[in-house]
Amino acid sequence: MTLLLSLFACSPDPAEAGKGDTGRPDTGGLDSAETASESGQDTALDTSEDTGATALPDARDKMVRSGEDCEEIAGHTDVPAARLWYWGELAGDAASGFTGVEAWYFYGNSAWTAYGLEDCEVHFDLSAIEVVGAGGCDTCDFGVNVTANVNLDRTTCLEGLYRGYQEMAEQYAIELLGDGSASWYFQGSGNPLGDGYWDASGVNYLADDGCSLPVD
């Protein structure tokens, strides 16, 4: 398929990498001596300008932009946690390659706010090439190799929330469905990543990582 194959969310497959409390990789942990307010960093969360280069429906319309579902963690209400979403988009073609963006959105619970943290986002610049085969996904149309580099100018989260993930590389497989939706999978294992949309201009996706516990 010469269309484009977008697979950002360079999040390692839980089956192939270290897992955090949510079954996904740890985001690194915050230095408990530094809060968002103490760092002087602007942590206001506004996704209105987070748009890509396609005319696709916005997969983020399905996001729950609140940490209310994370108020109780393992029976405790005093654990700082955030609802974490991964969103991304790629545009381009198989001949010239693909470029795009990815964002991680953290929506904190009450304990997160009391700890001195705010809702925030981490941004990445993406590049990708289409590869032959779709690995462990028998129904997918093609595979893609994606590299991601953090965009500090657009990132509002403290560095502890993306430490160790400033540069990433992953392989994904994408299934393009006839209704214009797209399903994303980790190429090696075939495990699902997220869902989004596709057309001739590109592909996007959204993945729900549940409640993230990034604070050591």
pLDDT in tens, 101-135: 999 999 999 999 999 999 999 999 999 999 877 77
The predicted pLDDT at position 103 comes to 97
Residue 22 sits at φ, ψ, to 5 deg, of -95, 5
* pLDDT band (50, 70, 90) for residue 201: confident
The predicted pLDDT at position 53 comes to 60
Reduced 3-state DSSP string for the chain: CCCCCCCCCCCCCCCCCCCCCCCCCCCCCECCCCCHHHHCCCCCCCCCCCCCCCCCCCHHHHCCCCCHHHCCECCECCCCCEEEEEEEEEEEECCCEEEEEEEEEEEECHHHHHCCCCCEEEEEEEEEEEECCCCCCCCCCEEEEEEEEECCCCCCCCHHHCCCCCEEEEEEEEEECCCCEEEEEECCCCCEEEEEEEECCEEEEEEEEEEECCEC
- Mean pLDDT over residues 207-213, rounded? 93
Q: Is the dihedral of CA 31, 37, 40, 45 positive or negative?
A: positive
Is the distance from CB of 103 to CB of 88 less than 8 angstroms? yes
The predicted pLDDT at position 133 comes to 73
Rounded Cα–Cα distance for residues 33 and 45 (Å): 23
Q: Answer yes or no: is pLDDT of 145 > 50.
A: yes
Is the distance from CB of 206 to CB of 184 less than 8 angstroms? no
Q: Answer yes or no: is pLDDT of 30 > 90.
A: no
Q: Is the pTM of this model over 0.75?
A: yes
User: In a 10 Å sphere around its CB, with 0-12 CB exposed, 13-18 middle and 19+ buried, how is residue 133 labelled?
Assistant: exposed
The predicted pLDDT at position 63 comes to 95
Q: Answer yes or no: is pLDDT of 35 > 60.
A: no
Rounded Cα–Cα distance for residues 62 and 82 (Å): 17
Pair of tokens at residue 24: 């996904």
For the ranges 33-42, 94-103, 206-215, which has the lowest average pLDDT? 33-42
The predicted pLDDT at position 211 comes to 95
The predicted pLDDT at position 13 comes to 55
Pair of tokens at residue 148: 């991601």
Q: 1-24 pLDDT, tens per residue? A: 333 332 334 655 544 443 333 233
Rounded Cα–Cα distance for residues 11 and 186 (Å): 9
Q: 64-89 pLDDT, tens per residue? A: 999 999 999 999 999 999 999 999 99
Look up tokens 């149309």; give the residue. 141
- Mean pLDDT over residues 173-202, rounded? 94
CA-atom Rg of the chain in angstroms: 17
- Mean pLDDT over residues 49-57, rounded? 69
* Of residues 48 and 158, more confidently modeled: 158
* pLDDT band (50, 70, 90) for residue 205: very high
